[in-house]
Structure 1
Amino acid sequence: MIERINKHQDELAKLIERHVPGDGVHTTAIPSLFFMRHSKVTGPSYGVYKPCFCIVVQGAKEVCLAQERFKYSPADYLVASVDLPVIAQVTEASSDVPYLGFKLKFTPSQILEVLTDSQVRALPKESAKRAMFVSHMESSLLDAVIRFARLLDNPEDIPVLAPLFTKEILYKVLQGQHGVALEQIAIEGSSTYRIRDVIEHIMNNFDRSFRLEELAEIARMSVSSLHRHFKEVTGMSPIQFQKQLRLQQARRLLLSESTDAADVAFRVGYESPSQFSREYSRMFGLPPIEDVRRLRAQNDQTINA
């Protein structure tokens, strides 16, 4: 079995190298599939993981969710079942053996379709589970992954077979050790399903203030239950979740536009520029303007390398 897994991983590595032009994150002919390549260890990357299934084909990666660290390598896979603000970093990569990654995005409706067509089903009374997990890669799951990736060499098969292979991959994950954490996002009435509605609301309104009572009403929970279940799912409170979204968006605006920190602070929902600067420094290690100057200098070095 180990020999078979190694053979599939070698094939998958060659396939990714064949379909990417160089380092970076790359789209593919399958809209839900993305490949990553890095020829050196990276610094922290801040962003929001949408629901996805991720594999490290070569190298190693670490994803931080709040105070938790999820480390994974070719022996594992990682799943995020709801939108989550994270910090990701490639921890093993070189020019000879670059980091290679595989990311498949999915939707709750796809999970529900698999549950409807199978005997794998969670019960609404199950307590909320963390919406991110790392699990051991099984040979049968990797079989499904490699067949899915091979579609890129036969693009005429993609419209028919890509949905079927996606369904097979999700089915295998649902059968795994942490499958219940994935099931719950699609089971109406489960606490995770209701927290998903709250996450969606915060994602769409991160720049405005809200009361916990408002979020509790969306979740159809008491305020104390909302706070407990939200933290079980995301690893943070609703306010901490919103803060990460605000600061990530502020950093993007500072990098992409010629504007000052105070203006960006107001645009992402802060009422006090000084509070914004303090929280920005705490998250990114430097005040806004110094951080942007550092990032631009790093980008210039990369371009000129």
Structure 2
Amino acid sequence: MIKKAENNSLVMRQQQELAQLIERFTVHDGLHTTAIPALRLSRASQASRPIHSIHTPRLCIVAQGRKLVLLCGERYHYGPSQYLAISVDLPISGQVVQASPECPHLCLLLDLQPEQIFDILKESDPAWRKRVDSRRGLVVSNSNAGLLDAAIRLVRLLETPQDIPVLAPLIIREILYKILQDEHGDTVKQIAIVSSQGYQIAEVIRLIKQDFAKPLHIDHLASAVNMSTSSLHHHFKKVTAMSPLQYQKQLRLQEARRLLLSGATNAANAGFQVGYESPSQFSREYARMYGLPPISDLKQFLATQTV
């Protein structure tokens, strides 16, 4: 009990130190790029509305505040001393649910590359390289002292830019190693083991994203990754929480909304550009996802820009 209490105390101190570092390098709200290409820092001084986007493989370590992520109806809450790992491209909705000017939401985001993970597996215990069953491509877990220590050292490198080229790759490798050692390490591991279904589903996702405006042919996708159509459906849903058709729909609607809100096109053309042949179907599915039909959503967005 004493040892556990000491460890919890250490993790709390590390989390506070990480928060102080992130706050130092984020003078205003938003997502900040850094001199370390794979590293970004996020700050928010108030709770936010849900933001829909395609999240690429990444690690998110929260130092302060809380966030809610939704994946096809599944809810994932995470806060201080926790991390969220995403191992495949996923269309999700995320919102800050706890933040204030005095205590902003602060988060570290680190891109995950399959090649880096594979290199670690190649030099580790052979048991790590065994094929793993497909599993959800998103997980929330508790940060440990080793992971937080490495994260602190990575952010602190921003104080000495001359050290970044040599030390940043080593610390990032250490962070990935710590994640792979975690009880949920297989979630990340699956995208680097070529023989795993998770790796195959990542390839299917790439193919869907490549031509998401075109009709979806499941048999062609299954053939491309040497899976049966039934196996593809089963493992795709295990990894993404949705079917390939639902995944494509989310891609289409997110791109349509991006086009619409950027002023690149009008509501009528946005649906056609992403593959919808029926304006009424596009409007209906858009409203189901975003709460308002396209034109109303655009009006509300423009109104918030003028406030």
State the TM-score bracket (shorter-chain normalisation).
over 0.9
- Verify the 8 A CA contact 2:216 2:245 in the aligned structure 1: no
Question: Secondary structure, in 3 states, of the residue corresponding to 1:226?
Answer: helix
**TM-score, normalised via structure 1 length:** 0.96
Task: Give the TM-score normalised by the residue count of structure 2.
Answer: 0.95
| Aligned position for 2:128 | 121
Say which of 210, 220, 226 aligns to 1:214.
Answer: 220
| Alpha-carbon distance in structure 2 between the residues aligned to 1:42 and 1:295 | 14
User: What is the CA deviation profile of residues 143-190 of structure 1, one whole-angstrom value per residue up to 9, with x for unaligned ones?
Assistant: 111111111011111111111111100100000011111111100111
* Structure 2, unpaired ranges of 5+: 1-6
Using the alignment, how far apart are the partners of 1:77 and 1:4 within structure 2?
17
Structure 1 distance, partners of 2:158, 2:247, is 37
Contact 2:52 2:92 in 1 (8 A): yes
Among candidates 15, 21, 26, match of residue 15 of structure 1 = 21
- Specify every segment of 5 or more residues in structure 1 that has no aligned partner in the other structure, as ranges: none
Match among 82, 95, 114 for residue 88 of structure 2: 82
Q: In the alignment, which residue of structure 2 is the partner of 1:177?
A: 183
Measured against aligned partners, the alpha-carbon deviations of 1:263-301 in whole angstroms (never above 9, x if no partner) come to 111111111111100000000000101111112222333
Aligned to 1:144: 150
The answer for the alignment partner of 1:237 in structure 2 is 243
Identity %: 50
1:139 maps to amino acid: A
**Shift in Å, 1:122:** 4.0
Structure 2 distance, partners of 1:38, 1:3, is 26
Whole-Å separation in 2 of the counterparts to 1:48 and 1:169: 23
Supply the AA of the counterpart residue of 1:123: K
Which secondary structure does the structure 2 equivalent of 1:121 belong to?
helix
Map of 1:166 onto structure 2:
172
- One-letter amino acid matched to 1:153: E
Task: List structure 1 runs of 4+ shifted beyond 3 angstroms.
Answer: none
State the secondary structure of the residue aligned to 1:177.
coil
Q: Distance in 2 between matches of 1:294 and 1:122?
A: 50
Matched position secondary structure for 2:128: coil
Q: Name the amino acid aligned to 1:158.
A: I
Distance 1:297 1:139 in 2: 46
Residues 1:216 and 1:92: Cα distance change in structure 2 (over 3 Å): same
CA offset digits 1:42-66 (Å, max 9, x no partner):
0000001111000111100011111
